[in-house]
């Protein structure tokens, strides 16, 4: 019947590695989620930065997803030009995520959600040096089923301002990241999706868009598994294939970003 709501079988809430879907879960749903993200390789030396998270998610009302997250950071930095050597693992900070779905794919041509994730960190994300870092990650996420129940695409708009106070010097600094993310995933078997994600990110000195510090374009594969007992697992890898830092020479931005990023996400509903 024209205009009738169709049955939705693809859940995009956790389907992607670096991109965000518009689905937010069902009212009353509770979930434990975890992730491990690795960022690897600068232009010189050894650079490994890892972030692990453990989150509790709850859907208190229709279309609203809430989440509280604890973070652990690990750094192994040796001989990287412009960075002090670091090697440690420590509690990294806290974050909260609030996401609201404006359009549901079950009744609209596409899904649409907006979200904000305020966060506090105990180190500079790039250098690993001790700092108080405050930021908010804003996102607008849209997705649609290109082939119903089989192929889904997603598009994100991102804006991430942050303020950092160095514990070593006491100096304050501001920067922001803006960009877009895109993903396509295909269901190859029931509960198994494979696809690719691409991101274009620009970093600015300050909260506005008038002082570009660098830009990077990342692309890579993603795979998602729906596991037994209401569990799921997603694995993604992304490489910087183009970019430029305004303060350095080279075809990639290895000042503000890394050559490669990898992520594992998992969760269980209860």
pLDDT tens, residue by residue, 54-100: 999 999 999 999 999 999 999 999 999 999 999 999 999 999 999 99
Distance of CA 195 to the CA centre of its chain: 16
**Which structure tokens are listed for 209?**
């868009």
**CATH code for residues 30-269:** 2.40.160.40
Q: For 109, left (φ over 0), alpha (ψ -120 to 50), or beta?
A: alpha
For the segment 109-135, what is each residue's pLDDT rounded down to a tens digit?
A: 999 999 999 999 999 999 999 999 999
Q: Is the pLDDT of residue 4 over 80?
A: no
Burial 41-77 (b: 16+ CB within 10 A, else e): bbbeeebbbbbbbebebebeeebbbbbebebebbbbb
């Amino acid at each position: 019947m024209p205009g009738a709501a169709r049955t939705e079988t693809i859940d995009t809430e956790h389907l992607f590695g670096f991109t965000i879907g518009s689905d937010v879960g069902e009212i009353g749903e509770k979930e434990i989620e975890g992730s491990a993200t690795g960022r690897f390789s600068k232009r010189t030396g050894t650079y490994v930065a890892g972030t692990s998270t453990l989150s509790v998610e709850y859907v208190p009302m229709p279309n609203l997803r809430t989440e509280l997250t604890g973070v652990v950071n690990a750094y192994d930095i040796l001989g990287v030009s412009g960075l002090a050597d670091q090697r440690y693992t420590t509690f990294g900070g806290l974050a909260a995520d609030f996401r609201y779905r404006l359009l549901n794919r079950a009744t609209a041509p596409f899904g649409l959600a907006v979200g904000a994730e305020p966060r506090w960190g105990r180190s500079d994300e790039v250098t690993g040096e001790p700092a108080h870092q405050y930021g908010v990650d804003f996102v607008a996420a849209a997705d649609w089923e290109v082939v119903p129940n089989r192929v889904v695409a997603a598009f994100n708009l991102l804006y991430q301002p942050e303020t950092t106070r160095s514990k070593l010097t006491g100096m304050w600094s501001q920067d922001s990241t803006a960009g877009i993310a895109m993903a396509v995933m295909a269901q190859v078997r029931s509960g198994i999706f494979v696809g690719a994600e691409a991101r274009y990110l620009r970093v600015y000195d300050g909260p506005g868009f008038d002082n570009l510090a660098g830009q990077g374009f990342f692309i890579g594969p993603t795979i998602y598994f729906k596991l037994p007992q209401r569990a799921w697992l997603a694995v993604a890898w992304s490489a910087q294939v183009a970019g430029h830092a305004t303060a350095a020479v080279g075809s990639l931005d290895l000042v503000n970003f890394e050559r490669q990023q990898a992520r594992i996400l998992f969760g269980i509903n209860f």
